[in-house]
Amino acid sequence: MNRRQFLYGTTAAAMPVLGGCSGDKFVVSIDDSYPVGRYGATSTAEEVTLGLDLTGKTAMVTGCNSGLGLETMRVLALRGAHVIGTGRTLEKASKACSSVPGNTTPVALELSSLQSVVECADTVARLGLPIDILVCNAGINTFGELELVNGVEKIFAVNYLGHFVLVNRLMPLMKQAQAGRIVHVGSGSAYRQAPAVGIDFDNLRGEGVFDSQEAYGRSKLANALFSLELAARLEGSSVTSNVIHPGLVKTNIARTAPIVLRKAFDWFGDLIAKTPQEGAATQVYVATNPALKGVSGAYFEDCNAVTVGGDNHIFDKPMAERLWATGEEMAQGYLITIEWE
């Protein structure tokens, strides 16, 4: 074993909890029933949009002040889109928006508060613009004890439930666009770290044992299943829904990880992790590439739709339907009625 292999081994051993990117019991293969592109793991968001003109399009990116969200906003704006960037406070969103060239509008969005989600959607509606692209990017991966927000486990509430309400509230604006695209930023943790049963519906309010990394996997499985059911409901409409895994990327996502993990990632992460420029490529590609017009209900890694072999639930339709009903129940009072056809 040479030095690079040793470093890779030690860092990679610590990395599943950060990005959900190790282990070999899952076989990921390109799904050629969808258009296969020429980009891959080392492509950047700029490369996958080279030559594209997004002038006249409105995009919205949640979590625009850090990591993948910041790079996604930067590149969409670079290509001419008007980008609505959300941050947990207006100050954070404004600072991020003014840090990138192009046309951007900052909006506050705190996903752990469904009231904040409603206010964010109302603010966006007042802009009076159809939304062509919605990238549900913001997320947390916490490493501490169980936390509940409004009685719901926090990672699930932020990563899934907040975006469930946001998408519902923005759907009228998405339908006004000629061809709206919703991109959910999920993770390989959806199959590597989720509970073996998939979504453990009897443990979403902290009723059972809490394992923070399993909780992150569950929330990312929820992103995948939300996208799947949304795509089914949107079939025949002008709006599509897909979910992506960005890869293991050097961002701030593991900010609450134990110090040993954070140090390992700081020191050796460059050897195995993508840069934010590379990490943002898949979500930007799925949000913009002309060849993917009409593609919906797919799961992407490294800029291509993939299937995942091995026991997992990312395409589990009955589970997706049950999750939808659970989301509706948990978000009661915050949702509007949508005509799906």
Ligand X SMILES: NC(=O)c1ccc[n+]([C@@H]2O[C@H](COP(=O)([O-])OP(=O)(O)OC[C@H]3O[C@@H](n4cnc5c(N)ncnc54)[C@H](OP(=O)(O)O)[C@@H]3O)[C@@H](O)[C@H]2O)c1
Q: Does 190 bind ligand X (CB under 6 A)?
A: no
Terminal Cα-to-Cα distance of the chain (whole angstroms): 57
- Closest of 46, 93, 50 to residue 72, by C-alpha: 46
As a whole number of angstroms, the distance between CA 185 and CA 224 comes to 9
User: Is 111 or 182 the residue whose CB approaches ligand X more closely?
Assistant: 111
* Binding footprint of ligand X, residue count (CB under 6 A): 31
Report in angstroms how near the CB of residue 284 gets to ligand X at its nearest. Answer: 13
Q: Does 252 bind ligand X (CB under 6 A)?
A: yes
SS3 106: strand
Alpha-carbon Rg for the chain, nearest whole angstrom, is 19
| Contacts (CB under 6 A) with ligand X, residues 12-31 | 18-20
| Contacts (CB under 6 A) with ligand X, residues 114-173 | 137-141, 158
User: Is 175 or 205 the residue whose CB approaches ligand X more closely?
Assistant: 205
Window contacting ligand X (CB under 6 A); options: 248-256, 287-295, 309-317, 321-329:
248-256
Report in angstroms how near the CB of residue 20 gets to ligand X at its nearest. Answer: 6
| Contacts (CB under 6 A) with ligand X, residues 29-88 | 63, 65-69, 87-88
Residue of 160, 191, 216, 299 with catalytic role? 216
Helix (DSSP H) and strand (DSSP E) numbers for the chain: 14, 11
Cα→Cα distances 336→5, 120, 164, 168, Å? 52, 14, 11, 7
Residues 6+ apart with CB under 8 A from 38: none
SS3 306: strand
Residue 34 falls in the annotated catalytic set: no
Report in angstroms how near the CB of residue 226 gets to ligand X at its nearest. Answer: 13
Residue 10: how many other CB atoms lie within 10 Å: 12
Pick one of 12, 34, 74, 110: the residue that binds ligand X (CB under 6 A): 110
Contacts to ligand X by CB under 6 A: 18-20, 63, 65-69, 87-88, 92, 109-112, 137-141, 158, 185, 187, 245-246, 248-249, 251-253
> Which residues participate in catalysis according to the annotation?
216
